[in-house]
Amino acid sequence: MGNPMRIRAVTADGNTTVKVLMSHPMETGLRKDSEGNLVPAHHITTVTATHNDKTVLTAEWGAAVSQNPFLEFSFAGGAPGDKVSVHWVDNQGDSRTDETVLK
Amino acid sequence: MTMKTLSGTLLATALAMAASSATGAEDDIFAQYRAMFGDDNPAELTEFQGEDLWNEVRGPKQVSLEQCDLGLGAGVVEGAYAQLPRWFEDAGKVMDLETRLLYCMETVQGMDVTELRQHPFSEQGQPQTDLEALSAYIAAQSKGMPIAVPQDHPAERAAFEMGREQFNFRAGPHDFSCATCHGQSGKRIRLQSLLQLNEPEGAKASFSAWPAYRIAQGAVRTYEWRMADCARQQRLPGLVHGSPAAIGLITYLGVLANGAEMDAPGLKR
Amino acid sequence: MNMHRRSFLTLSASVLAVAATATMWPLRAMAEWVRPKAAFEAKGMDDTFAAMGGTPEASTDIDFMTPEIAENGAVVPVTVTSKIPGTTEISILVEKNPNPLAAIFVFPEGTDPSVKTRVKVAQTCNLYAVVRANGKLYSATRETKVTLGGCGG
Amino acid sequence: MSLNQTIIRGALLGVLAATLASCASTPEGQTGTAQAEAAKVDPAAAKKAALMSSFETSGQAGMDRLEQDHMQRFCSEYEGRPVPAEDAKKIAADATAGVRFPEDGDFFGDWHNGEWIAKTGKGMQSNDDPSEPNGGNCYACHQMADEEIAYGTLGPPLRHYGKLRGTSEAILRYTWTRLWNSHVYNTCSHMPRFGASGILTEQQLKDVMAYLFDPASPVNQTLETAAMEQAQ
């Protein structure tokens, strides 16, 4: 189970902007540690964002997304009390879901 | 948890750009790069960890750090970082945040911090140390507050003086001191703009931004780390965490920075 | 995990509408999500484009923002907004990375075809924003310089 | 330690005998109450003790690196201030006496190696491998070849260095001396004493000289020329 994400969602003029910071090493598999051993690839592969039960974004990622990834997108709608949830899965089978409630 | 609005973000970006031109860095070719980050700083993830650690009941004495006095009374974190380093009567010395946190983990929680004191900073790719996470959280609780590093106690003034001397101390095979790179304004090393740290403007920009998320390392680094890594690049032996020279330098920079608003954790190359 | 599965099915249903025009593309090929593995593993721009279904046509209707010069290639902010009607996907490619394809974003109905993220850029090179709209590929290109910022030690 | 440093250190003993004597008698690494005791006895000793307790040997960076020679001590004191003429003269004289020119009289090595030295910032840091050659990190402070845009501005620009100055014996000796020990010309210069302090070997200094003077070196080309030649 990964570390918690930071999700901010702000609704203005009928549109909701979502910003997500995820805690993940995003190792490419090409980096060597201090002993000179290759650090195995470890990166998020799929991200899904939902607004209440509707999918509002899906992303497929390689290892070239930066460490501790940042993602910003926006969708139509959003009302106070609505849930915005973000879920990721990585190549080592780890996953994480966090959510925020619109104000 | 505070929810920042998008207009707040835009304002912050505009302010960051204004600030960079105010410091005479209009020609700073990284201004556009930095502005694109807005205020979305991965350091926030570390702040969260630090907040949990601060509140968590830990150690042989099974208490949280809410019993820890960071200078403004037990458990007071708001504004504490902006007034450190300072003299602590109970410890009988001048301490910066990191030294104080280790002291509290040891005395309040009864934890063995020998290992953490030896290795206060995380290795590349490894999770942040407790000290880094706590520092990020505590520093963030001074956001927007004026830096007010005290010079009341004689030991605080002595620390400032030691820091000032250390700043100019040329040694090692390359004859470097802090002043070699940070004694003039408007200079850069490679493409990196250098702050003049022996006068208020540069010291303010530096002190207010640390701890900071270091992009190169994908991790939050503390002000003690900044001092130690400069010492490494000066070709000096290892700067001991919490040592008189380290606390001295931080006191020196903090006092010069007095009056500036804290804005840490920052975002650095 | 239930929520996860449900959202994937919703997505699959929404993209099925355009499946007929892009049978080569795995995302549209099945009722269940399939990661376009070959595109992520491809080396060089030509092979990557081939794995994505063809060479995109240059378009001025893509707002693509990257810094001209990056202080650190490990984190390069990118912003892409597509003004091409019917945009369903935006991909970000970094020409000289070991595998150019960095990320694909899929936009269901109701989500703005716009995304902001941060990618690794191994060396000075072109970055591509590739948009899929109505089964066709469009692209915008920008160069980002990656330099040594600090003391070099 | 180089011969030059030994000489300077000898001179220092004469000038600052009293201070040094008290420092030398202070055991390294005093802490706590011992420090407080020392403070009562001698503030200089206390200062020294605080300094020594603030550092620890790390990799190749030993505690001996905290021992300042005369120039270091003097220039630390006068940082950001004009240096008294008399002292400046003495530092320059000491520096001049220590300069060693190439034994075979040849100032030039391989500019390709010189380029590597100019661009490499590693060397002599606690985490550097001492078996690897040291870099000179010229680009940290100086503009040199057009093609390298990541240059610093702490030192003067050296673009077209040889092209602008020619290769007279005088300019070669001047440049070699600058690299060897910049304090010959500029007391309390911030530039490392690459020769005098043994940062670069004689061969490496020759390579840097070639990088600065060789007409084929990128330092002496304009970017258009370089691009045209590459195309041919």
**Whole-structure pTM value:** 0.84
Looking at the predicted structure, is the pLDDT value of residue A44 above 50? yes
> How confident is the model at residue C148, as a pLDDT?
63
For residues A22-28, average pLDDT: 94
- Contact status of B38 with chain D (Cβ, < 8 Å): no
For residues B16-27, average pLDDT: 40
Confidence of residue C7 (pLDDT cuts 50, 70, 90): very low
**Partners of residue D149 in chain C, C-beta under 8 Å:** 145, 147
Interface contact flag, D152 B180, Cβ < 8 Å: no
Exactly one of B68, B104, B181, B230 is catalytic; name it. Answer: B230
For residues D45-54, average pLDDT: 95
The string of pLDDT tens digits covering residues B93-151 is 999 999 999 999 999 999 999 999 999 999 987 899 999 999 999 999 999 999 999 99
More confident residue, C85 or C34: C85
> How confident is the model at residue D42, as a pLDDT?
86
The string of pLDDT tens digits covering residues A49-60 is 999 999 999 999
The string of pLDDT tens digits covering residues A72-97 is 999 999 999 999 999 999 999 999 99
Same domain, C63 and C18: no
Residues 6+ apart with CB under 8 A from B93: B87, B155
Same domain, D182 and D101: yes
Number of Cβ within a 10 Å radius of residue B52: 13
On whether the CB atoms of residues A54 and C10 are closer than 8 A, the answer is: yes
Confidence of residue A34 (pLDDT cuts 50, 70, 90): confident
Interface contact flag, B6 A12, Cβ < 8 Å: yes
Is residue C153 situated within a structural domain?
Answer: no
> How confident is the model at residue D194, as a pLDDT?
98
- Closest CA of chain A from B84, distance in Å: 28
Residue of chain B whose alpha carbon sits nearest to that of C147 = B191
User: 3-state class of A46 per DSSP?
Assistant: strand
Interface contact flag, B173 D67, Cβ < 8 Å: no
Number of Cβ within a 10 Å radius of residue D80: 11
For A6-25+41-101, CATH number out of 2.60.40.10, 2.70.98.30, 2.40.37.10, 1.10.940.10 equals: 2.60.40.10
For residues D1-6, average pLDDT: 40
Interface contact flag, A60 C102, Cβ < 8 Å: no
Between CA B33 and CA B20 the distance in angstroms is 12
Confidence of residue C2 (pLDDT cuts 50, 70, 90): very low
- Closest CA of chain C from D150, distance in Å: 6
Between CA A71 and CA A19 the distance in angstroms is 6
Same domain, D139 and D227: yes
Contacting chains of C (3 CB pairs or more, <8 Å) are A, B, D
> How confident is the model at residue D34, as a pLDDT?
56
- Contact status of A32 with chain B (Cβ, < 8 Å): no
**Partners of residue A66 in chain B, C-beta under 8 Å:** 218
Least confident of A73-82, B18-27, B34-43, B240-249: B18-27
- Closest CA of chain D from B193, distance in Å: 9
Q: Kindly list the distances between the CA atom of residue C127 and the CA atoms of A46, C103, C146, in Å, as whole numbers in the listed order.
A: 21, 12, 12
Looking at the predicted structure, is the pLDDT value of residue B22 above 80? no
Binding-face residues of A in 49-88 toward C, CB within 8 A: 50, 53-67, 69-77, 85, 87
**Partners of residue B34 in chain C, C-beta under 8 Å:** 71
User: 3-state class of D40 per DSSP?
Assistant: helix
For residues B146-169, average pLDDT: 98
Report for A22-36, B119-133, D197-211: range of highest mean pLDDT? D197-211
For residues A56-73, average pLDDT: 96
Domain count, chain C: 2
On whether the CB atoms of residues A48 and C108 are closer than 8 A, the answer is: no
Looking at the predicted structure, is the pLDDT value of residue C149 above 90? no
For residues C70-87, average pLDDT: 94
- Closest CA of chain A from C31, distance in Å: 15
Q: Which domain holds residue C71?
A: 36-146
Is residue C152 situated within a structural domain?
Answer: no
**Partners of residue C119 in chain A, C-beta under 8 Å:** 64-66
Looking at the predicted structure, is the pLDDT value of residue C10 above 50? no
> How confident is the model at residue D16, as a pLDDT?
33
Between CA D90 and CA B155 the distance in angstroms is 37
Same domain, D40 and D106: no
User: 3-state class of A18 per DSSP?
Assistant: strand
Question: Could you tell me which of B173, B39, B141, B159 has the C-alpha nearest to residue B96?
Answer: B159
* CATH superfamily placement of domain B24-268: Cytochrome c-like domain (1.10.760.10)
Looking at the predicted structure, is the pLDDT value of residue B12 above 50? no
**Partners of residue C153 in chain D, C-beta under 8 Å:** 121-123, 125, 128, 137
Same domain, C3 and C46: no
> How confident is the model at residue D36, as a pLDDT?
59
Confidence of residue D84 (pLDDT cuts 50, 70, 90): very high
Is residue C86 situated within a structural domain?
Answer: yes
Same domain, D98 and D164: yes
> How confident is the model at residue B27, as a pLDDT?
55
Question: Could you tell me which of D112, D98, D105 has the C-alpha nearest to residue D179?
Answer: D98
Same domain, C55 and C22: no
Is residue D24 situated within a structural domain?
Answer: yes
> How confident is the model at residue D4, as a pLDDT?
42
- Closest CA of chain B from D41, distance in Å: 17
Same domain, D17 and D116: no
Concerning whether B68 is annotated as a catalytic residue, the answer is no
- Contact status of B186 with chain C (Cβ, < 8 Å): no
Is residue D61 situated within a structural domain?
Answer: no
Interface contact flag, C108 A63, Cβ < 8 Å: no
The string of pLDDT tens digits covering residues D135-182 is 999 999 999 999 998 999 999 999 999 999 999 999 999 999 999 999
Same domain, C47 and C83: yes
In the predicted model, what is the mean pLDDT of chain B? 90
For residues C67-93, average pLDDT: 95
> How confident is the model at residue C26, as a pLDDT?
52
Is residue D85 situated within a structural domain?
Answer: no
Domain boundaries, chain B: 24-268
Same domain, D50 and D147: no
Is residue D78 situated within a structural domain?
Answer: no
For residues A26-54, average pLDDT: 92
Residue of chain B whose alpha carbon sits nearest to that of A25 = B125
Interface contact flag, B4 A8, Cβ < 8 Å: yes
> How confident is the model at residue B38, as a pLDDT?
83
> How confident is the model at residue D223, as a pLDDT?
85
More confident residue, D85 or C149: D85
Residues 6+ apart with CB under 8 A from A63: A26, A27, A28, A29, A41, A43, C99, C120
Same domain, C80 and C139: yes
Domain count, chain D: 2
Please write down the HEC assignment for all residues of chain C. Answer: CHHHHHHHHHHHHHHHCCHHHCCCCHHHHCCCCCCCHHHHHCCCHHHHHHHHCCCCEECCCEEEECCCEECCCCCEEEEEEECCCCEEEEEEEECCCCCCEEEEEECCCCECCEEEEEECCCCCEEEEEEEEECCEEEEEEEEEEECCCCCCC
Same domain, D26 and D106: no
Residue of chain D whose alpha carbon sits nearest to that of B235 = D125
Looking at the predicted structure, is the pLDDT value of residue A45 above 60? yes
Confidence of residue A33 (pLDDT cuts 50, 70, 90): confident
Tokens of C106: 């899929």
Say which of C145, C147, C153 has its CB closest to residue D125. C153
Between CA D14 and CA D134 the distance in angstroms is 33
Share of chain B above pLDDT 90, in %: 80
Residue of chain C whose alpha carbon sits nearest to that of B36 = C77
